[in-house]
Amino acid sequence: MDTPLTTIAVVGLGTMGTGIAEVLARAGREVIGIDISEAAARQAVASLEASTARAVRRERITEQERRDVLARFRTFSDLRAAADAELVIEVVPETYEIKQQVFRELDAVVSPATILATGTNALSVTRLAAESQHPERVLGLHFFNPAPAMKLVEVVSSVLTAPPAVESVTRLARELGKEPVAVGDRPGFVADGLLFGYLNQAAAMYEANYASREDIDAAMKLGCGLPMGPLALLDLIGIDTARTVLEAMYSASHDRLHAPAPVLGQLGEAGLTGRKAGRGFYTYDAPGSRTVVPDALTPKAGADAVTGRTVSSVGVAGSGTMASGIAEVFAKAGYAVVLAARGQEKADTAKARIAKSLGRSVAKGRLTEEARDETLARISASGSLDSFADVDLAVEAVAEDLEIKQQLFTTLDKVCKPGAVLATTTSSLPVVAVARVTSRPEDVVGMHFFNPAPAMKLVEVVRTVLTADDVHATVREVCVKVRKHPVDCGDRAGFIVNALLFPYLNNAIKMVEEHYASLDDIDAAMKLGGGYPMGPFELLDVVGLDVSLAIEKVLHSEFRDPGLAPAPLLEHLVAAGCLGRKTGRGFREYARR
């Protein structure tokens, strides 16, 4: 097992197997591609020819290097071709029966020193190893799709795996230019273990008609900076594959968050398995295509015939970062803005923060000095909510405390003119509880901006059971005018983004609590394997552990799901005053400013 891995067999030449073969061949390894389908083998060769031709055109490799890569990749239809391989990586369909059959046949073909790696992302490596005559040489080697582009490789050890085998494949992964993360054997490992719970919750949210597929996907892309929305990603992964992974996770965890959403089974049974079938959550112009085409569920332009109320002036209540950012957004879009705080000094400080932000935009060439001055001139700083008497839209951005918000809305109800729209920026509290303290709950709506408001494109538009249609239409129209992307959702805890994001963060904390993986490995896995802009612990420390705990408690209280209970480690850190970057210590320590 300590010999260099120079000849490697890849069993199964689907999309993933072909990608792995390409990575190996480009790195100078002799690659033996094996698939019972001659068509799949031909397609794998054609794919490698096409990708290397693109690399030559882009001057990333020479023509001679391309010929060398192609010469190192040979295809066969019989497992006996793997006889001389030092490592065999299987990437056959995700069932125990097929994988176990491959391992049994390989035992009769390869040397006892040959390492056998499974590419599974859901099945038990230990169970597969137990079927082998030499379980000590069996491990998991989980690449991510597309294998040539994705940097993460999870190296999965069972209790039977010999350390030299792990060391050999870990060294190989680094030589391939990948980032190996060592993990134990449990369904989903790190990246998929966190990812698929989130995808499952998104599918359940869609199935419950809480939000449209387009709004769910847009919310997670724009609100979290993810490369794809969850439902589009399920279509890419394959809905049948996702359900298999979730079944394996649920059988191990018995966590209801992992119990596959019924819609996944319904789509799978109907053969609507995603891109590969040409239809899943979305419809594609052909099987295997990435091009989405309109279908019966696609929103139609102008379908909402309700006209919103006229808005020319906006009041923003609050003096913090969010209030300043929202006021800046409205003023940039040409609205007259009243920024009100508890006292003139706080209001002036908030306006000064806006001036500083606009100054940075000027310095970066994003804004002219004239536009900066015009924007600031549209903002009036006030020390009293009485200044909201004539605004058409009042937006509160005060502390995330229900009692404080209710007191504010009681005042807005008295101060604001009839017909003014009253909006709360709450991220987790019930909007209807704020609306009910007013004499006009039909005028109250949620307008959840994301921080920093000037940069983040998403606004969750939250209508209660009492919100008037024209109020909802007004906020959507205003969002478009201030160049934000509105998504519709109902008045329940977490709305779209936080309801999907924070259970994922909570599950990452549980992984650390269980000593399954380290903070660094989990963060690396989600950034490199999922394309996330930040790892979960980086994000938790930025958001604030106290804020995260409060949201987790709201979600647990609303949905009563045991899997949503805040991780004890999160509660302990908050109790100890370790709140993240703002205190200098959270999951990590930070230099004090």
Q: Is 254 a catalytic residue?
A: no
Exposure b/e, 480-512, CB count within 10 A at least 16 = b: eebebbbbbbbbbbbbbbbbbbbbbbbbbbbbb
CA–chain centroid gap for 10, Å, is 30
* CA–CA distance, 282 with 276 (Å, rounded to integer): 12
First-to-last C-alpha distance (Å) of the chain? 50
The answer to whether 221 and 252 are in contact (CB under 8 A) is: no
CA–chain centroid gap for 550, Å, is 21
Exposure b/e, 158-170, CB count within 10 A at least 16 = b: bebbbeebbebbb
Alpha helices in 333-449 (DSSP H): 344-363, 369-377, 402-415, 431-435
The answer to whether 552 and 502 are in contact (CB under 8 A) is: yes
Q: Which of 134, 258, 448, 472 is catalytic?
A: 448
**Cross-strand pairs, 449:** 459
Mapped onto helix, strand or coil, the DSSP state of residue 127 is helix
Q: Which of 357, 498, 507, 548 is catalytic?
A: 498
Q: Which residues contact 298 (CB under 8 A, 6 or more apart)?
A: 214
- Torsions phi, psi for 589 (to 5 deg): -100, 145
The answer to whether 551 and 498 are in contact (CB under 8 A) is: yes
Report the largest interatomic distance among the alpha carbons of the chain, rounded to a whole angstrom: 84
Q: Which of 22, 86, 460, 538 is catalytic?
A: 460
Q: Is 448 a catalytic residue?
A: yes
Q: Is 498 a catalytic residue?
A: yes
The answer to whether 421 and 393 are in contact (CB under 8 A) is: yes
DSSP codes, 523-552: HHHHHHHH--SS-HHHHHHHH-HHHHHHHH
DSSP codes, 206-264: HHTTSS-HHHHHHHHHHHH--SS-HHHHHHHH-HHHHHHHHHHHHHHH--GGGSPPHHH
Q: Which of 124, 427, 428, 506 is catalytic?
A: 427
**Cross-strand pairs, 445:** 423
Q: DSSP letter at 279?
A: B
- Torsions phi, psi for 117 (to 5 deg): -115, 135
* CA–CA distance, 14 with 503 (Å, rounded to integer): 33
Q: Is 374 a catalytic residue?
A: no
The full length of the chain comes to 593
Active-site residues: which are they? 427, 448, 460, 498
